[in-house]
Amino acid sequence: MNRRGFLAGALALGAGLAFRVRADGLPETLPEPALPEAWDEIDHNAVVHRVRDGEALPRRAQPEAEHAVVIVGGGISGLTALSELPAGTDALLLEKEAETGGHSRRRRIRGVWCPLGALVSQGPIAPFTSRLNALGVAFRPLPVPGLAWRIGGRLCEEPLGAGIDALPLPAAERAAFRAAADELAGYRDPATGIFFPRSDNRPEIRALDAITLHEHIARRGWPESLKKLLDGLLAVRIGEDGSQVSAWTALWLLSAIGGDNYSFPGGHGALGERLAAQALEGRPQALRRGWT
The tens digit of pLDDT for each residue in 206-243 reads 999 999 999 999 999 999 999 999 999 999 888 889 99
pLDDT tens-digit readout, 171-215: 999 999 999 999 999 999 888 999 888 889 999 999 999 999 999
pLDDT at res. 21: 52
Give a yes or no: residue 173 inside a domain. yes
**Edge-to-edge strand order for the sheet containing 140-141?**
121-122, 261-263, 140-141
Under 8 Å between Cβ of 95 and 291: yes
Give a yes or no: residue 135 inside a domain. no
Give a yes or no: residue 21 inside a domain. no
Q: How confident is the model at residue 2 (pLDDT cuts 50, 70, 90)?
A: very low
The domain that holds 187 is classified in CATH as 1.10.405
Under 8 Å between Cβ of 104 and 118: yes
Give a yes or no: residue 225 inside a domain. yes
208-212 contacts: CB < 8 A, separation 24 or more?
Answer: 208/246, 208/247, 208/248, 208/251, 209/246, 209/247, 209/248, 209/249, 210/246, 211/246, 211/247, 212/242, 212/243, 212/244, 212/245, 212/246, 212/247, 212/250
- Whether pTM exceeds 0.85: no
User: What is the span of the domain harbouring residue 185?
Assistant: 148-257
Residue 210's identity, in one-letter code, is A
Give a yes or no: residue 141 inside a domain. no
pLDDT at res. 12: 42
pLDDT at res. 30: 57
pLDDT tens-digit readout, 4-41: 454 444 444 333 334 455 555 555 655 666 666 666 56
Give a yes or no: residue 252 inside a domain. yes
Question: How many distinct structural domains can be found in the chain?
Answer: 1
Under 8 Å between Cβ of 11 and 39: no
pLDDT at res. 1: 42
pLDDT tens-digit readout, 34-81: 666 666 566 777 777 888 888 887 776 677 789 999 999 999 899 999
How deeply is 129 buried, as exposed, middle or buried, from its count of CB atoms within 10 A (0-12, 13-18, 19+)? middle
Under 8 Å between Cβ of 43 and 30: no
Give a yes or no: residue 272 inside a domain. no
Q: How confident is the model at residue 130 (pLDDT cuts 50, 70, 90)?
A: confident
Q: Which of 134-143, 198-207, 279-288 has the least mean pLDDT?
A: 134-143
Give a yes or no: residue 165 inside a domain. yes
More confident residue, 243 or 265: 243
